[in-house]
Amino acid sequence: MARLDLLITSGDVLDGSGSPPRPADVGVRAGRLVLLPPGSPAAATEIVDATGLVVTPGFIDVHTHSDLLAGDDERREVLRRAPLLQGVTTEICGNCGISPFPVPPDRAGPVRELIAATFGPPASAYPSFPEFAAAQGRSRRNHLAALVGHGTLRAAVVGFAQRRATPEETRRMCDLLDEALTAGAAGLSTGLIYSPGVNAGTDEVIALARVAAAHGKPYVTHLRDEMSQVEPALEEALEIARAAGAALQVSHHKTAGRRAWGATVRTLARLAEARADGLDVTCDVYPYTAGSTALHAMLPPWLIADGVPAMLAAVADPAVRDRIRTDLVAGVPGWENTVGNGGWDLIRVASAPHHPHAQGHTVAELAAARGVDPVDYACDLLAAENGDVTILSHSMHEDDVRRVLASPLAMICSDGVPKEGRPHPRWAGSFARVLGHYVREVRLLELADAVHKMTAMPARRFGLPDRGLLADGYAADLVVLDPRRVADGATYDDPLAPPRGVRCVVVGGRVVVDGGTITDARPGRVLAVPDRQPALRGRR
């Protein structure tokens, strides 16, 4: 008789491959899976009865901004619970070009200011991936893998200057990236709509993507434009990947703003065409029509070109505010956002720590209540919060969201920005929403296909070789859920409300969620992602 640490009996197994469910018992021994025929004689220290439920691999959220959630305070603890309760056992952070490493000590100040304006204080910057990993301590219940942010590399080497990098600066950025990937970082990310990444030319990104390709790790990009110029921006991403020989992951793929609605018909066809031509390209998507980002991203990129302190000084100048108003109407070459393509009534304050009364209201509403212009209100709020303001942007069409969700090239993400206030409900709801709303209610996806998009597909993309499948010897990260009840509870008004229908979550063979209750187990760790081919130094 097999002796196990944990045994999940009488459930239907969805193994993550996309295959239909099948009856099986799932055992765990020393943090690894042991699959058994139904009813096999086995003894276990802990037994979970999964009658009427399905057992899946742990979900992998390929796009989060949870880089700085380490710590023992209750505020972070509340935010860390949200993905766990819906079954997320691994998160991939460092997206959109911002990571808290690798930052040489002499450049930590400016980079820390950028990080604080993105994630909120207190901001931390680490010289290397191992030091970032060590700082996570023992606070994690689920696992974390981390990308290297191009914006961080550029801020550390070039600063916020509105110019192309010199060959020597590009070489230095490549060296920092190579060191981080060698140490176990999961890939390279860019946020080409954000400062300082917006200042980079295509050739600079190609040079960095070649380093990622040499390690067999992906190039992950927030495109230079996701609105009316999304198609040229996608072509740039394809050009970078093709020239670098890198796998391409298009982050949170969307076509936002009324002028871009419907463009997913063409962008998804273009991705499929590129894949048919031999390019390894996929994307991810969150299941909502609103996005979320920093308030300063709604303003022209020249405003933050010299860094956060300079931006905060500039917004006090009436002439700067007049220029912002002009640029929002007339446009800035190569830049577009929701304000210029919809209005301030689409921009809702999600997090403003010192102005909680503003949270949940649109900038248009708040400005009208004060009797001021929306640009003046936005600038005043940025200054009062030292740049630390997060917003929601209601800019997408449901048809586009559904089209990307249904694509065989798309995996599921939250793009969660875990901050206090009224954060986007995607942090606490994305995976449960897909399983409940888009699988059971809308029937956009089959359950097995949705689970595949959350498990084996992201594990393969991000080089997690022993995760994403229910198979003998794989890491024992598991979810037990009720497909008839699973649903998201998070809303825009109550963004951290827990999901329903998730019975049990297991990380590293230990139960971390039991009947909707978080346990004391903290088996999570930072995953060092191995190279999928030897790093070829000197090839760039």
pLDDT, tens only, 59-107: 999 999 999 887 777 778 888 999 999 999 999 999 999 999 999 999 8
Residue 219 has pLDDT above 50, yes or no: yes
CA distances, 18 to each of 8, 67, 434, 445, 467 (Å): 21, 30, 15, 11, 15
Give the amino acid at 40. Answer: S
Q: How far apart are CA 470 and CA 472, in angstroms?
A: 7
Spell out a b/e string for 414-432, using b for 16 or more CB atoms within 10 Å of the CB, else e.
bbbbbbbbbbbbbbbbbbb
Pseudo-torsion of CA 528, 531, 537, 540, nearest 10°? -110
Please state which of the four CATH numbers 3.40.50.1580, 3.20.20.140, 3.30.830.10, 3.30.450.20 is assigned to the domain occupying 59-190+248-289+396-461.
Answer: 3.20.20.140
Q: What is the pLDDT of residue 114?
A: 81
pLDDT of residue 538: 36
More confident residue, 218 or 43: 218
pLDDT for res 367: 95
For residues 116 and 388, the answer to whether their CB atoms sit within 8 Å is yes
| CATH code 3.90.1010.10 for 2-56+471-486+499-518 | no
pTM reported for the whole predicted model: 0.94
* Burial (Cβ within 10 Å: 0-12, 13-18, ≥19) of residue 334: middle
For residue 70, the model assigns a pLDDT of 78
- C-alpha dist (Å) from residue 37 to 10, 47, 482: 10, 16, 21
How confident is residue 535, by pLDDT bands cut at 50, 70 and 90?
very low
pLDDT of residue 150: 98
**Start-end of CATH 2.30.40.10 domains in the chain:** 2-56+471-486+499-518
Q: What is the pLDDT of residue 39?
A: 82
For residues 467-489, average pLDDT: 98
CA–CA separation, 251 and 262 (whole Å): 18
Query: What is the pLDDT, as a whole number, of residue 340?
Result: 63
- In the predicted structure, residue 2 carries a pLDDT above the cut 80: no
- Quick: pLDDT tens for 406-456: 999 999 999 998 888 889 999 999 999 999 999 999 999 999 999 999 999
Task: Say yes or no to pLDDT of 37 above 50.
Answer: yes
Closest of 449, 396, 390 to residue 419, by C-alpha: 390
